[in-house]
Structure 1
Amino acid sequence: MRACRSQPVDRIPVWFMRQAGRSLPEYRRLKEDHSILDLCRKPDLATEVTLQPVRRLGVDAAILFSDIVVPLMGLGIEVDIVPGVGPVFADPLRGKGDVDRIRQLDAEADVPFVLETIRQLVTELEVPLIGFSGAPFTLACYLIEGGPSKDHARTKALMYSDPSTWSDLMMRLAEMILAYTRAQVAAGARAIQLFDSWIGVVGRDDFEAHVKPAVAHILDGLQDLDVPRIYFGLAAGELLSSFGSLGADVIGIDWRIPLDEARERIGSDVAVQGNLDPATCLASTAVLDARAQEVLRRGGGTGHVFNLGHGVLPQTDPAVLSHLVELVHDWNGDG
């Protein structure tokens, strides 16, 4: 928590996006009998999956095991997570008439299992729990495209051709996300991360005009809770100059840009999180160590939370992640 607030720390903290799940054999055993959404809906199982990497890896934070589509499911929107594909929506949004489907979320009534999972976790964890949500643009992409997309053409077409409907959709999603994340904090989450997986398809001017207001609304709406607010955008190097004024305490950085250059682009006194290339964990120990030490050097110490630049790859050996945690914890700045 101190690192998220750019305060001095005794050692660099480390956790991994997607640390709970695919690379852990204990998770794969659970997946033999349960779908991802089944695991999300059952608090005892979601609690167990969240705890697994904390026990095994020694990371400094847990991140709630869930999925970004869960609050949309809570609104009654039909979605499935198809193996090898991702979220698939049965009835994509196509225009103004569909936007009313995004109503306000009552987290206790609509997604009680998420809050119960958090309440269970805070009784068992000795490290902070990070809650999360998808960010408005990424959720809009899934809703409009109906699933993953290479070009997000339908999404951008709506943004350009009907800015009023687009703005309505984004602010409805922002209000839903704000209710969802505030409820997570009330249940015991000690930080919130917004994942914007598809934001890299947007140019800087369009981000400022069509995306930033909704993200800033969420972050501003969390400010009174006094928990660190983390915003992670994938492939967003050209947008970093816009991120500094979003209102986040921490900006997550992917592996495409060195952390010191990212800080310069952000141009404000916020912490950074990242940003080792996940594929480096598949390389030799010598390569992994050298790359991780370079990330630590460029991270600059204060105001740096070590992480990967995206999620843990499924084929990653958990022993490599444990080694990486030890390396980060032992870092003294000399490399």
Structure 2
Amino acid sequence: MKFPVLKNDRILRAARGDDVDRVPIWIMRQAGRYLPEFRELRSKHDFFTICQTPELAAEASLQPIRRFDLDACIIFSDILVIPQALGMTVEMRSGVGPVLPEPLIAPKDIDRLDNTASIVQKLCYVAEAISLTRNKLDGKVPLLGFSGAPWTLMGYMIEGGGSKTLSKAKAWLYQYPDASKHLLKILTNAVVDYLVMQACAGAQLLQVFESSAEHLGPELFKDYILPCIRDISFRVKAEIKARELDDIPMTIFAKGAHYALPDLAESGYDVIGLDWTIDPEEARRKVGSGITLQGNLDPCSLYAPEAELKKLTKEMLKKFGKSRYIANLGHGIYPDMKPDHVATLIDAVHEV
């Protein structure tokens, strides 16, 4: 599949450890509800209708690229399309967020999943959206694809939505260790197929969101989660190579997994995303010089006055340095954030 020539490869160079003329920046959840143009789009269409309609997903993906001088576009989608593809109902309820009305209660409920489902076939609309968006970008910046990671997906599938403790899902790890590993394997296989599909469709960098790692300690993470994360990177990269596609860097963002940084550095990813609780200099000591770091400004700092936000941004960049670094927030941007504050962040990165 041929696409327009890429004009700005800054983020890909940074991911691979090559020299860059300036630090690249993109923002987690940059496509979405903090933008007035997205809210207008959302007023006309259901959330998952936008995800499942390539033209609408492409439009949502491109909105922040038109508004800001960012170094990457990320496809508009949702991590919960995988549970949907496995046969679970997922609803996006106003004021609540994602709800899975029929969660997995006990190991026997795993049998309800359509484990024979072709992820590529079920989620083909994401592939179409990626190819369409890649063409519409006309090479301005690279296009990022992504997936939720197995533990994060497992958490939603058992809790029935978001949770502050993930106690039901964690209980599975203690009560049903074999069933938990079986479910995590099903999800790992789905994530691998999904990411390979995205690569084939035109994604130029892939990020895996293990957003619920903060609910685990070192032992649970090492026993249950790390094997899945490793399996995903090695299998996806092997499939990309077997299909003779261009090398595609991969990022792991394990929120709250400060305890696992040395292990993550050995897990096969090119980039490690950091949340805002980790000191950049400490993270660099733990992962070594051969991994690119991404992050990690506190999303809340965007509420600060312009001068303070610029100061915080420049302090962050000083700690990370220019080499092997991608500027970003330490988690997704908040839905009530003013776009002008996002522009201030981007300008501050460009000024360094």
- Stretches of structure 1 lacking an aligned partner (at least 5 in a row): none
- What is the distance in 2 between the residues matched to 1:203 and 1:102? 31
What is the match of residue 130 of structure 2?
118
Amino acid corresponding to residue 157 of structure 1 in structure 2: A
Whether 1:157 and 2:171 are equivalent positions in the alignment is yes
Normalised to the residue count of structure 1, the TM-score between the two structures is 0.95
- What is the distance in 1 between the residues matched to 2:34 and 2:176? 42
Normalised to the residue count of structure 2, the TM-score between the two structures is 0.91
Q: After superposition, what is the alpha-carbon deviation per residue over 1:97-121, rounded to whole angstroms, capped at 9, x for unaligned?
A: 2223151552442012111111101
Q: After superposition, what is the alpha-carbon deviation per residue over 1:290-314, rounded to whole angstroms, capped at 9, x for unaligned?
A: 1000110111211100001111112
- What is the distance in 2 between the residues matched to 1:51 and 1:161? 45
- What is the distance in 1 between the residues matched to 2:296 and 2:319? 10
* Worse-matched range after superposition: 195-204 or 90-99: 90-99
What is the match of residue 76 of structure 2?
65
Whether 1:291 and 2:312 are equivalent positions in the alignment is yes
Amino acid corresponding to residue 293 of structure 2 in structure 1: V
- What is the distance in 2 between the residues matched to 1:103 and 1:306? 38
Alignment of 1:1-335 (within 5 A): 1-100=12-111, 101=113, 103-125=115-137, 126-224=140-238, 225=240, 226-267=247-288, 269-331=290-352
- Stretches of structure 2 lacking an aligned partner (at least 5 in a row): 1-11, 241-246
Question: What is the CA distance between 1:248 and its match in structure 2?
Answer: 1.1
* Worse-matched range after superposition: 65-74 or 89-98: 89-98
Amino acid corresponding to residue 186 of structure 1 in structure 2: C
Question: What is the CA distance between 1:264 and its match in structure 2?
Answer: 1.6
Q: Is the 8 A contact 1:3 1:302 kept in 2?
A: yes
Q: Is the 8 A contact 1:105 1:176 kept in 2?
A: no
1:230 match: secondary structure:
strand
Question: What is the CA distance between 1:242 and its match in structure 2?
Answer: 2.4
* Worse-matched range after superposition: 56-65 or 155-164: 155-164
Q: After superposition, what is the alpha-carbon deviation per residue over 1:231-272, rounded to whole angstroms, capped at 9, x for unaligned?
A: 112222222232111111101001112211112223462111
Question: What is the CA distance between 1:85 and its match in structure 2?
Answer: 2.2
Amino acid corresponding to residue 185 of structure 2 in structure 1: M
* Worse-matched range after superposition: 47-56 or 120-129: 120-129
1:195 match: secondary structure:
strand
Aligned-CA RMSD value: 1.4
1:143 match: secondary structure:
helix
- What is the distance in 1 between the residues matched to 2:116 and 2:73? 28
Overall identity of the aligned pairs, in %: 39
Q: Is the 8 A contact 1:203 1:239 kept in 2?
A: no
Q: Is the 8 A contact 2:119 2:190 kept in 1?
A: no
- What is the distance in 2 between the residues matched to 1:9 and 1:104? 44
Q: Is the 8 A contact 2:310 2:344 kept in 1?
A: no
1:222 match: secondary structure:
helix
Shift in CA distance, 102/243, structure 1 to aligned 2, threshold 3 Å? farther
- What is the distance in 2 between the residues matched to 1:95 and 1:313? 34
Amino acid corresponding to residue 195 of structure 2 in structure 1: T
Q: Is the 8 A contact 2:120 2:194 kept in 1?
A: no
Q: Is the 8 A contact 2:204 2:249 kept in 1?
A: yes
Amino acid corresponding to residue 279 of structure 1 in structure 2: C
Question: What is the CA distance between 1:151 and its match in structure 2?
Answer: 1.6
1:260 match: secondary structure:
helix
